[in-house]
Structure 1
Amino acid sequence: MRKLTFAMNVTLDGYVAAPGDDLGWSGGEGEGPDSSASDELFQWWSDRVAATSLALYGRKLWEAMSPHWPTADQQPGATPAEIEFARRWRDMPKVVFSSTIDEVAWNARLVTGDAVTEIARLKAEDGGPMDIVGATLAGAAMRAGLIDEYAIVTHPVLVGGGTPFFTALDSWVKLTLVENRTFSGGVVLTRYETRR
């Protein structure tokens, strides 16, 4: 059975996007990990992509990432770290869940049916770890009890509203802290595993 991790940048007040789907607070403007923040944090995200066997994307985050990262390694002025991340992201297998887009590219396949059923099927397969990215998609997986780990990269900013990292749940989910790490600029990574 595959391990499923929900990993995203989040504000201190718990949002993955500010009102209007604004991601500017992370410095990435919707283009992925904050390349203007610490090189160490950017490398952590890049290494995470390299270690992920399959990424599960919701439509909004797919539409934020896919215009930039597939060709970011070919852009003038791209740093070695950005080139590495772009290549890793492009090569990583991806599943995009959406009922409103018609096609996807860049080593991705589209699922238009029931997301929870497909995520459960993918988890039951043999294979390496999966990451789920996108709060709405992850919320459905949370409510279904499919998330094994939460990797929360908290940025020291308050945005006052927007898209929350966590969804409303019908019952408590007990977690165990497995890592706590501070990056430059006051960004803090906390990783929790779900207690089963």
Structure 2
Amino acid sequence: MKIYISGLYSGTSPQPGVGLSRSLRIAYPDATLIGVDYSNRSSGIHWPGFDDLWLQRPWEELDLAAYGALITDLLEGGALWISGTDLEALWLASVFPDGHANLLSPLAASLSRIAKPGVEAHQGLPLQIPPFISTEHSDWDLHAFCRKHDWRVWLKGPYYDAVRTSSWDVFEGARAGLSKVWST
């Protein structure tokens, strides 16, 4: 059994890849575990529990169509893939909208239920979603919203990332950064 595990960073905002490999090694001692990451700076690439490492180009440099074809070939060949990064899981959900028997990652329909700000998955829980505005509104409306809330505003990505904005300049910089990461 060959299992590809992505998301190896183990720093301040850790990804689950190393922990997954530990658990899988105990459960399946004869499995071949292959770590996958998109940065040669990722601390988890040095984890000795992997049998091999598949280091990719940084995400923004990948030819996603070609990479999707490679992953499809691996899955069709019987390998398993466990996605440990949010961006990769979102992308895999678009490549395999109905899933794949060997892809252990959420379907697009599941991921759509947890997107911010209108998190559908909160329904039935004793939680409230705070006031929000989409960055698709005009700059005039966004500035008015921030002023109304005394600049105690967090600019958030659709699934993760959050930046506190204390001024319009900070807001614009954060919006540009998040737009680049999330292609929004």
Q: TM-score over 0.5 for the alignment? A: no
Give the shorter-chain TM-score range. 0.3 to 0.5
Which structure would you say has the larger RCO, counting Cα contacts within 8 Å and 6 or more residues apart?
Answer: 1
Bigger share in strand: 1
Bigger share in helix: 2
Larger radius of gyration: 2
The TM-score normalised by the length of structure 1 is 0.34
